[in-house]
Each structure stands twice: as C-alpha cells, then as structure tokens.
Amino acid sequence: MTWKIHFGNCAAGLVIGSALAMGAPVLAQTAEQGGTIAASGSGAVLACVTCHGQHGEGMAAAGFPYLAGQGSAYLAAQLAAFASGARNNPVMAPIAKSMNADQIKAVAAYYASLPPVFDAKTLSGHLDTQPPKTATGAWLANRGDWSRDVPACIQCHGPGGVGVGQNFPAIAGQSAAYIKGQLLAWKQQKRDPGPLGLMGEIAQRMDEAQITAVADYFAALPQPAKAAATPVQGAKR
C-alpha cells in the first residue's frame, strides 16, 4: 500500500483522536498530576524536566526534543512505544517501562497543555512556500519530491511544521539532530513506522542529503532557514 492510500486516511485518524479526547475537567486534573511527575518524578519514574527542560522546551544541543504543545495522544503513544520497544531508545525505555498507564496519560496531558515553544504568528511570517529548488530542505518541506514519491512534510505536519491535531506532531524549531535521528531510524527500520506506516515508507525513499536538509530547515524555523546547497534530484513543480 502506497503513502497515497495511507495519506487518504489521515483525516480519519484525526477524527478518531478527537472523539477519544477526555472531558475538560478530567483533562485539567490529569494534566496537573502529570506536571508533578514531570517536575519531580514519581517512584522509579525520573523527572522529565531533567532532559526536556523546565517548560518542555527540550534541549536542542543534547538532541532532546521539545514536548510542550504536542498532542496528548501522540505523546502517550510514544511513551507506550518506548516501553514496548517499538521505539528503541536506551534512555527512554527504562523510564517508560517504569510508568503505569495513568502516569503516561497524565504526563502526556500535562505537556499537551503547555504552550508551544514557537510563536505561530512569527513563524507564518517567515514561511516561503515557493522556495527555489536549490533550497533543498525548504523544497522538500513545502513541495516534496515526487520523483521519489515523497510528499511535502507540511501535508501532515501543517504549514511550517506547526503540527496537526493529536497525531501529527509539531516539528518547527525541533532539534536538527533529533529530526535527523528519527528520519534515519525510520529509514533503517529501527523505529516502528508509526500510524498508517507513513513515516517508515517516506523516510526510506529519502536519501541522507535530503534528510539532513529537511532537518536543518525545520530546526531553523521560525527564523528564515538558510538555503541548502544540495538540489533535490528530479523534483517536480
């Protein structure tokens, strides 16, 4: 099954995620509990702030991603994947395995309740949706590379990579090392392909120069990204 068939199901996944969302009062209480775990840990569960920052802003220099503002369903799914081994990470695996279902739900709700690390208005003012082909990262992010059957990143992650709904995370301003590491993990089949198998298929069709370029592009947002030198081979308008 190609990504095109999978992509057609994206909207359905968003509807399901919304339908399963918790009621506001319960969500607020759960998020408060999650904030306590994130700040201080709980039993064998280490405090999340150690690696992901006091406000979920991440630590780009160390490759730790920001979590603030990401969808709660997405965050909970990632913790479950770390615990099961679907995502292989020697740091997160023991932490996730030590968390019970309620703790996972609480931490996910807490980080989802935090404001994003980027300013959406500032970001929108810097976007160039008609970049030159020589700006490889910008081209791939906004136009894709149809010679490789690679869709534009914004088709699932939203304009500028601001994230869409509960299942497609924000990647604007995310650490380049983190984005590149995840794309390579999908490309090398070291990470579960994710919902509908989308990222596993897409990453395998990208070469490493494209992966580096697109990671650098999103990491540079919301500031204007510098044009990458490597052209996209065979990209179509």
- Domains and their CATH numbers in the chain: 19-113 (1.10.760.10), 120-220 (1.10.760.10)
pLDDT band at 50 (very low <50, low <70, confident <90, very high): very high
Can you give the length of the chain in residues?
A: 237
pLDDT in tens, 63-86: 999 999 999 999 999 999 999 999
Identify residue 69 by its one-letter amino acid code.
Answer: G
pLDDT in tens, 26-45: 556 789 999 999 998 887 68
pLDDT in tens, 138-177: 999 999 999 999 999 999 999 999 999 888 999 999 999 9
pLDDT (0 to 100) of residue 124: 76
* CB burial of residue 94 (10 Å; 0-12, 13-18, 19+): middle
Burial 175-184 (b: 16+ CB within 10 A, else e): bbbbbbbbbb
Q: What is the DSSP string of the chain?
A: --HHHHHTTHHHHHHHHHHTPPPHHHHHHHHHHHHHHHHH-BTTBPPTHHHH-TTS--BGGGTBPP-TT--HHHHHHHHHHHHHTSB--TTHHHHHHT--HHHHHHHHHHHHHSPPSS-HHHHHHH--SS--TT-HHHHHHHT-BTTTTB--THHHH-GGG--BTTTB---TT--HHHHHHHHHHHHTT-B---GGGHHHHHHHTS-HHHHHHHHHHHHHTTSPPPPPSSPPTT---
pLDDT-wise least confident of 23-32, 115-124, 125-134, 202-211: 23-32
Q: Identify the residue with better confidence: 147 or 227.
A: 147
% of the chain with per-residue pLDDT over 70: 81
pLDDT band at 15 (very low <50, low <70, confident <90, very high): very low
Distance between CA atoms of residues 60 and 41, nearest Å: 22
pLDDT in tens, 83-103: 999 999 999 999 999 999 999
pLDDT-wise least confident of 1-15, 23-37, 118-132, 212-226: 1-15
Q: Which of 149, 164, 170 is nearest to 58 (CA)?
A: 170
For residue 164, the cross-strand partners are 168
Cβ(179)–Cβ(100) below 8 Å:
no
